[in-house]
Amino acid sequence: MGSTSVTIKEKEEIISDYRCYFCFARAFERLLEKADLPEEEKSGFAKDMFGLFNNVKGNLSVPLLSRELHLLLRQYTNNPDPYKEAKKQCNDLVLGMYPSLKNIVIQSHNQFDTALRLAIAGNIIDFGIGNDFDLQATIEKVQNSDFAIDDSLQLQQALTEAKTVLYLGDNCGEMVFDKLFIETIVHPNLIYAVRGAPVINDATLEDAKYIGMDLVAGIISNGYDAPSTILEHCSSEFREVFNRADVIISKGQGNLEGLLGQTAKDVYLLLMVKCEVIADILGVKKGDFVVKKNKVLPN
């Protein structure tokens, strides 16, 4: 499908979706099944989780509720970074694939398009949705599928004209694919942003340095530990970079959810659609690949 004029609905119309609560409940049920906790503490967590649900006033901010739930889990498990080993495993897995992925890009007729597709394929690595994913199958699928929304040519042109590019990273493992795309872009002033502290399997500065992102881009923390980019909570340093960036690339659903209704800047959304809620927002299907230029509407 070619470029589309579909515009994301305003935040208050799309965030308060009842399905998000069920998604949270299923996700944390899976986490509790794996957690080394007594049954009574698992029950205590469940009660506290539903208490947080009840405390939501007005519209639901999915990233903020996710942050609160993961803070709660860390308190119960007494583990400041429950996904630390899983993040390293994901980074190591994709770093091991990197030479073959690089070769795919080099041998392709359109290196920008191929590297972009691989970057989107990496978005499947998401422990917030679940850790049951087939990375290799996704890599193969994205190379042979049409984008449900395809504003990639606009992105490519915008990158050639931009003085500063801000790339909002998402998950570990995925950011190795981002690194490959950034190497293909070859922009002299590209800054890669990560989370301010560990949350789920999202990338931090430590993770970015581990995979060598600092060798191909400037790296910056957004200063907050939500699995998203929530501007009002981000550091002043990050907001300064965000405000002066000519092109903003936003990876994944978490960043999309945090930016909805919060900025009038043009943002390029790169993601694999992993849930029906986001599919409905974008007017596509679950499992679709999206490159969407969007002026994210202010409230």
- At residue 149 the predicted structure's pLDDT band, cuts being 50, 70 and 90, is very high
Question: In the prediction, which pLDDT does 295 show?
Answer: 62
Tokens representing residue 266 in the block = 């043009």
Q: Are strands 149-150 and 289-295 parallel, antiparallel or unpaired?
A: parallel
Task: Tell me the whole-structure pTM to 2 decimals.
Answer: 0.91
Residue 169 has pLDDT above 60, yes or no: yes
Report the alpha-carbon distance of residue 278 to residue 63 in Å, rounded. 13
Name residue 146's amino acid: D
Residue 299 has pLDDT above 60, yes or no: no
Domain 84-295 class? alpha beta
Q: Residue 98: in which H helix or E strand, if any?
A: helix 84-107
Question: Domain ranges in the chain?
Answer: 19-77, 84-295
Question: In the prediction, which pLDDT does 14 show?
Answer: 40
Q: Of 24-33, 98-107, 132-141, 154-163, where does mean pLDDT reach its minimum? A: 132-141
Residue corresponding to tokens 């981002």:
178
Tokens representing residue 200 in the block = 């789920």
3-state secondary structure of 170: coil
Question: In the prediction, which pLDDT does 297 show?
Answer: 47
71: left (phi over 0), alpha (psi -120 to 50) or beta: alpha
Residue 52 φ/ψ, nearest 5 degrees: -65, -40
- At residue 8 the predicted structure's pLDDT band, cuts being 50, 70 and 90, is very low
- At residue 59 the predicted structure's pLDDT band, cuts being 50, 70 and 90, is confident
Name residue 294's amino acid: N
Question: In the prediction, which pLDDT does 265 show?
Answer: 87
CB atoms near residue 132 (< 10 Å) = 6
Residue 7 has pLDDT above 60, yes or no: no
Residue 193 has pLDDT above 60, yes or no: yes
What angle is formed at CA 238 by the lines to CA 299 and CA 212, rounded to 5 degrees? 130
3-state secondary structure of 291: strand
291, 148 contact by CB (below 8 A): no
